[in-house]
Amino acid sequence: MTTRTETDSFGSLEIPVDALWGVQTARSLHFFAIGSQRMPLEIVHALALIKWAAAQVNLQLQRMDAAKAQAIADAALQIAEGRHDDAFPLSVWQTGSGTQTNMNVNEVIARIASARITVHPNDDVNRGQSSNDVFPTAMHMAALEQTHIRLLPALSALHQELLIKAVEFKDMVKIGRTHMQDATPVTLGQEFGGYAAQLALCEEAVRHALGAVGKLAIGGTAVGTGINTHAEFGPRVAALLAEKMQLPLTQADNLFAAMAGHEALVALHGSLRMLAIALNKMANDIRLMGSGPRAGLGELLLPQNEAGSSIMPGKVNPTQIEALTMVCAQVMGHDVAIGMAAAQGQFELNVYKPLIALNMLDSIRLLSDAMQSFRQHCLMGIRANAVQLERNLQSSLMLVTALAPHIGYDKAARIARHAQQQGTSLREAALALGHVTAQEFDAWVRPEDML
């Protein structure tokens, strides 16, 4: 392999001659060969945008000449646009401040820019910054952007489809269930409307949490004091990023808190956990209502997308539901890890940042994709099994609840027990016990009036 020699304060290393990264990235590749998970590219692209903005602000503040600032800004935009993604090979399991990835970005920008003018990765690209403030800034930017462009549209589309189903099923009366036992009637539309309302609450929680995520640590440098940077650097960088990304980004009110703690991201992921919980409940309800086709509840007819068994011919499974519920379990697990990581801030810096970034972005990606897949390949094709809904409804003992206001709880309970013990209908049991007449039973026990 043809190599070039690069030197830092620890000595010299041979680096592949065509590699855009430099000596500090090379050391990280050697010392952090851990797992197969790479730093999310969303973080890399966000870091590059920070470098783009930083170069322009340093020019404005007369801390960098125009030629160098332009070369850095141009190189940074190339990276932010994804044109050099293969130049960022580092494991996510590195230093807890993300320093290695910050330097990876600095080195690649410096090498690209140095084709025009000599640029140093620390002195120039990283001017006015520290990994300790730019990495959490990138975490917030990436989480905010991905939530806006991926998660919220997928959530909104799923919510709208549930509302459509609620209207479609509004006249489909069925038996309700509590404790997994028969209860009084509801409509299938009411159930799907309930799912839609749950997701609306989740969307409200996500949007509320995003406000704090728009507050950035940039300008705090090493420990929050802003040492080695201009007092206007952070606010100006945040303003440029807000304009570029069309997102509500500002410098955090307290830079010490923004670097030492990650409560804003904890709250955002907490809303994702809430969403996962709601999705899991909805998916499991639909799975149960679609169980069968002959020996289950059979109230819903789920789309048949693919063969379900390698041994049982003709078997079809609720695979979209299974995928969605596995994603929900993963997101809940991510939330536990994020909570533990965010609690580990000692003094002026939390050093679990890459883990928080990885899990946050993975949750956003998984939930977005899973909601879209479930909506397209399951929810849109669900049909009600009217025959089975009516059969289950008429066989339910809990229709006896309609008699309680007329004959009292105790007599109604005796009718239900008699019907269950004798294997008869409620009507037959009521007439056999002499508690009501046929005309009274037919007038009082009307499922459509029990909604």
Residue 238 CB neighbour total at 10 angstroms: 25
Mean pLDDT of 182-201: 98
**Stretch 1-27: mean pLDDT:** 94
Q: Residues with Cβ < 8 Å from 227, sequence gap 6 or more?
A: 221
Q: Looking at residues 281-307, what average pLDDT do you find? A: 96
pLDDT for res 368: 98
CA atoms 432, 435, 437, 443: torsion sign: negative
Residue corresponding to tokens 């002026």: 348
343 Cβ contact partners less than 8 Å away, ≥ 6 residues apart = none
The pLDDT of 178-182, averaged and rounded, is: 96
- DSSP code of 249? -
- Calpha distance 342→260 (Å, rounded): 9
Residue 221 has pLDDT above 80, yes or no: yes
309 carries an active-site annotation: yes
- Residue 187 is inside which H or E element, if any? strand 181-187
Find the catalytic residue in 9, 30, 179, 310.
179
Element (H, E) at 131: helix 131-146
Residue among 7, 44, 13, 48 at smallest CA distance from 29: 13
Confidence of residue 1 (pLDDT cuts 50, 70, 90): confident
Burial of 427 by CB count in 10 Å (0-12 exposed, 13-18 middle, 19+ buried)?
middle
Q: What pLDDT is recorded for position 45?
A: 98
Categorize the per-residue pLDDT at 357 as very low, low, confident or very high, splitting at 50, 70 and 90: very high
- Report pLDDT for 66: 98
Among candidate residues 12, 208, 309, 395, the one labeled active-site is: 309
pTM, entire model: 0.96
Rounded to an integer, what distance in angstroms lies between the CA atom of residue 175 and that of residue 177? 7
In angstroms, the CA 153 to CA 149 distance is 7
**CA 423/CA 420 separation, integer angstroms:** 5
DSSP 329-375: HHHHHHHHHHHHHHTTEETTEES-HHHHHHHHHHHHHHHHHHHHHHH
Pair 53, 251: CB distance under 8 Å: no
Whole-number pLDDT of residue 53: 98
Q: Give the pLDDT confidence of 323-335 residue by residue, as tens digits.
A: 999 999 999 999 9
